[in-house]
């Protein structure tokens, strides 16, 4: 007896698998975010509480579920576990689901987008906490960027090369000019290299959208922080989280936003 497979069955299974895998990868991203800036080995030692050294059991390391069961505290020392760990897991899960939703008809590009989103989560988290962008993140981002050159169905290959080259050159020039005018470093080398790789990933059209989103959101946040600051000088604000957010939005919705703009422009 042959049991018919309901319509949409494989679609539902794909979304469920992407959600589960996204959570598991998100859990690993927390290891990367914690250990890479501290120059620690990613494999050793095993996952443990940074406060008391308690070695986590497998049931202490179930994404989101363990955090909720433990009430956000270490099983051993009862010290608070930063909510950032759960936020990264949930964010990676949602981003992977979004990648399946947007690019399920283009497998290689979908996988590249998943990898890029996960890496940008790492970049944003590390820069937000440590104000650095380790070079290994830009190197890793080259993998989905190169894949996008050959698999992006909505952009010709040389648009990606133009985006990468132009982004790096323009940001390097801006950094040099701003450094001369302000007498201090205005843009870090990590930001310059990151924009270059993101330009290669997105292509120059979606790169423009990324820059608009990053600039506007960054300016708003910096104005708010400056207004709340008691000092005359503006507080140092890492730019990579805004670049990462802009890049993710452009990656997922850039083509639709470009089409909408052209439709409004041309009537």
Per-residue pLDDT 10s for the chain (267 aa) are: 445 545 577 788 889 999 999 999 999 999 999 999 988 888 887 787 777 777 878 777 888 888 888 888 888 888 888 888 999 999 999 999 999 999 988 999 999 999 999 999 999 999 999 999 999 999 999 999 999 999 998 889 999 999 999 999 988 888 788 777 766 666 677 888 999 999 999 999 999 999 999 999 988 988 888 787 766 566 677 889 999 999 999 999 999 888 888 888 776
Other beta carbons within 10 angstroms of residue 15's beta carbon come to 15
pLDDT of residue 183: 65
- Residue of 247, 256, 19, 257 lying closest to 113 (CA atoms): 247
> Do residues 221 and 246 touch, judged by C-beta distance below 8 A?
no
> Do residues 141 and 112 touch, judged by C-beta distance below 8 A?
no
C-alpha R_g of the chain: 21
- Residue of 129, 78, 96, 87 lying closest to 14 (CA atoms): 96
60-85 exposure pattern, b = at least 16 Cβ within 10 A, e = fewer:
beebbebbeeeeeebbeeeeebeeeb
Cα 123 to Cα 39: distance, rounded to the nearest angstrom: 15
pLDDT of residue 261: 82
What SS3 class is residue 80?
A: strand
Q: Distances in Å between the alpha carbon of 138 and those of 50, 129, 159, 173, 213?
A: 27, 18, 19, 20, 20
pLDDT of residue 235: 64
179-202 exposure pattern, b = at least 16 Cβ within 10 A, e = fewer:
eeeeeeebbbebbbbbbbbbbbbb
pLDDT of residue 231: 63
Question: Whole-angstrom distance between the N-terminal and C-terminal Cα of the chain?
Answer: 57
CA angle 82–91–128, rounded 5-degree value: 55
Residue 229 CB partners (closer than 8 Å, separation 6+): 235
Q: Distances in Å between the alpha carbon of 11 and those of 212, 219, 246?
A: 34, 40, 28
pTM across the whole model: 0.90
The domain limits of the chain are: 1-104, 106-267
pLDDT of residue 232: 58
Peptide bond into 45 cis (omega under 30): yes
Cα 174 to Cα 169: distance, rounded to the nearest angstrom: 9
What SS3 class is residue 109?
A: helix
């Amino acid at each position: 007896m042959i049991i018919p497979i309901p319509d949409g069955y494989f679609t539902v299974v794909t979304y469920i698998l992407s959600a589960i895998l996204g959570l598991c990868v998100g859990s690993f991203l927390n290891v990367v975010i914690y250990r890479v800036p501290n120059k620690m080995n990613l494999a050793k030692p095993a996952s443990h509480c940074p406060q008391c050294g308690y070695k986590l059991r497998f049931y202490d390391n179930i994404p989101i579920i363990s955090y909720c069961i433990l009430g956000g505290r270490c099983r051993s020392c009862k010290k608070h576990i930063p909510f950032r760990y759960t936020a990264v897991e949930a964010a990676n899960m949602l981003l992977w689901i979004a990648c399946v939703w947007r690019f399920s008809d283009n497998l290689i590009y979908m996988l590249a987008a998943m990898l890029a989103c996960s890496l940008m989560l790492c970049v944003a988290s590390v820069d937000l906490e440590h104000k650095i962008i380790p070079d290994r993140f830009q190197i890793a981002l080259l993998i989905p960027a190169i894949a996008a050159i050959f698999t992006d169905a909505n952009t010709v290959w040389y648009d990606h090369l133009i985006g990468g080259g132009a982004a790096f050159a323009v940001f390097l020039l801006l950094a040099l000019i701003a450094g001369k005018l302000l007498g201090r470093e205005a843009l870090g080398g990590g930001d310059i290299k990151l924009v270059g790789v993101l330009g290669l990933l997105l292509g120059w059209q979606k790169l423009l959208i990324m820059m608009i989103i990053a600039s506007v959101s960054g300016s708003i946040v910096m104005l708010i922080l400056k207004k709340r600051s008691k000092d005359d000088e503006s507080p140092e604000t890492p730019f990579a989280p805004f670049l990462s957010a802009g890049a993710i939005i452009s990656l997922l919705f850039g083509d639709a936003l470009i089409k909408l703009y052209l439709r409004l422009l041309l009537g």
